[in-house]
Chains A and B, each alone.
Chain A
Amino acid sequence: MQSHGTDQPRSAPTLAVDAVRCAGLRYRFGAHVAVDRVDLLIAPGETLGLLGPNGAGKTTTIRMLTTLLKPDEGTVTVFGVDAAAQPMRVRRLIGYVPQSLSADASLTGWENVELFARLFDVPRHVRRRRVAEALSAMGLAEAAQRLVKTYSGGMIRRLELAQALVNAPRLLVLDEPTVGLDPIARADVWEFIAGLRRSSQTTVLMTTHYMEEADLYCDRVALMHHGTLRATGTSDELKAGLGEGATLDDVFRHYTGGTLDDDSEQGGIRDVRRARRTARRLG
């Protein structure tokens, strides 16, 4: 039942090292097992969507991958580097955008990106150019000198992408990149992520609970539920496995025994709360 075969990158076997390799990954919060023996491969250049309702263990998996948590068991490597053993080196490989809108509202867009350029040791003589490039790649060249408190939610999310991109990461990790955004801003953010993929070979790992977005924008999806990985594969493969006319929602229901609808409705309410909290914070 484990769609183990699809774990292999679709592109024929290469000598290139996997972008991400999780093996037997496990994490416990007290008695609660948040992530339970997760095995996952991501090929270089691939966009993988980690799907699941809130509490499925997506964010905990990402936190281990981004060196914020050390796995209780198992290993996670990024381009062959062990995240637990060599966190500093892994951090240089990744750009990370957390779930909540987390740009500094009291700085300008430029300053927000320059901060991360400095924190990633982008050399001084290329810093200005790299900051400008990251901002214009995300369509923020015009707004760069404005304080972020004047930005819309979609602009802040794009600014965060620019912050993550200024280091030219090999792996971009996006935790619910469109959560809390209105539909127009969501489409907008996706357009920029898609443009980024076309222009660079960046590998992308994202979590989401919007099935339709995963269907549209991810090369492969991995379904997570109660801390375990239930299935991985391309969206078409997974749907085909269920027969004619199946949707990703059906796939999810098939592998988890539950509907995502209940959870996503719950998520909807949380989204609203989170968006409100963010709005308050940004004044």
Chain B
Amino acid sequence: MTSAAPGAPPAASADPLQPGRLGLPADPPLAGLRRLISRVATLCWVELRKIRHDRTELYTRAIQPALWLLIFGETFTRIHAIAVPNGIPYLDFLAPGILAQSTLFIAIFYGIQIIWERDAGVLAKLMVTPTPRAALIAGKGFAAGVRSIVQAAVIVVLSAVLGVAMTTNPLNLLGVAVIVVLGSAFFSCLSMSIAGVALSRDRLMGIGQAITMPLFFSSNALYPERLMPGWLQAISKVNPLSYEVSALRGLLIAVPTNLWLDAGVLTGATVAGITVASLLLPRLAR
């Protein structure tokens, strides 16, 4: 019955718009990059507007790091249970670790957000704009970075109030911002990748909680790597959070580290994360 239909009017059967032929001119070579930057800037702008409209999350998210620094940090500084390098107070050693932890917790939320956006139809609407999948993911990743920078500023101030001897060198602080953005972008892409596999909010909440603490404890955020048992050291070596913490320690409290290695690992992880998450994105849109 419907088989009669394919004999559609012949008018358009000789399709005049062969891909890349007679249509609009092909994109200039740098158009893709420009679009990527433009989309990332746009999604970061949205994030800043959201933070401006509602600052409560900024305060509620400051509570947990404050507890870590105030209670855990102060206590362990007093009992000298953890031998940290260069004879610095434990609280100083801990502060960059907590900074990295709180950006990790922010970033992990973005996978839940993208599933929420899928359920609400927001994701479909975004994907019907001329925005490549990778630009959408990168934009969300760097938006997580923007939120993390604002959060990081709160924690840096808090640490300074608690007497952590941190640098005031603006170049170092700029470096901190870069590392925080890279770390958040990676972990939010990790979270969005998991979202592309888990596909439901409940499942993702479970997975998110199941991985954040292991990521945190298997990093050098709370204790130096050389105090860990061998197997944990091996995990820490492949845990990007360790490189984020090392870089932050190097920049903030001058604990020697290979900054180029740290930044390189984080950049590589971020690029890999964006790639994997954008490959999994169509699964969410189905």
A-side interface residues toward B, CB under 8 Å?
A: 1-2, 4, 7-8, 13, 17-18, 21, 23-24, 36-37, 39, 41, 63, 66-69, 77, 80-82, 85-86, 88-89, 91-92, 94, 96-102, 104, 106-108, 111, 115-116, 118-121, 147, 160, 163, 228-229, 281
Contact = CB atoms under 8 A, between A and B. Distances in A.
Contacts of B131: 119
A4 B124 contact: no
A108 B52 CA distance: 11
Nearest to A67: B128
B130 A92 contact: yes
Contacts of B8: 7, 21, 23, 39, 41
| Max count, chain B CB within 10 A of own CB: residue among A37, A88, A102 | A102
Interface of B: 1-6, 8-9, 11-12, 15-17, 19, 23-24, 35, 38-39, 42, 45-46, 49-50, 53-54, 119-122, 124-132, 285-286
Given A68-B127, A91-B129, 15 more contacts: A2-B5, A17-B12, A18-B11, A21-B12, A37-B6, A39-B5, A80-B15, A92-B130, A98-B124, A98-B125, A102-B122, A104-B122, A107-B49, A108-B53, A121-B35
A160 B121 CA distance: 11
Contact of B129 (A2, A8, A36, A116): A116
Nearest to A278: B120
B42 A23 contact: no
B37 to A, nearest CB: 12
B130 A229 contact: no
Nearest to A106: B50
13 contacts: A37-B6, A39-B5, A41-B8, A66-B124, A67-B127, A68-B127, A96-B124, A97-B125, A104-B122, A106-B54, A108-B53, A118-B45, A119-B131
Contacts of A107: 46, 49-50, 53
A111 B19 contact: no
B2 A120 contact: no
B12 A111 contact: no
Nearest to B54: A106
Contact of B6 (A39, A82, A160, A163): A39
Nearest to B127: A68
| Max count, chain B CB within 10 A of own CB: residue among A2, A94, A104, A119 | A119
A36 B2 contact: yes
A235 B124 CA distance: 31
Contacts of B23: 81, 86, 89
Contacts of B125: 96-98, 102, 160, 163
A111 B49 contact: yes
Nearest to B49: A111
A186 B50 CA distance: 30
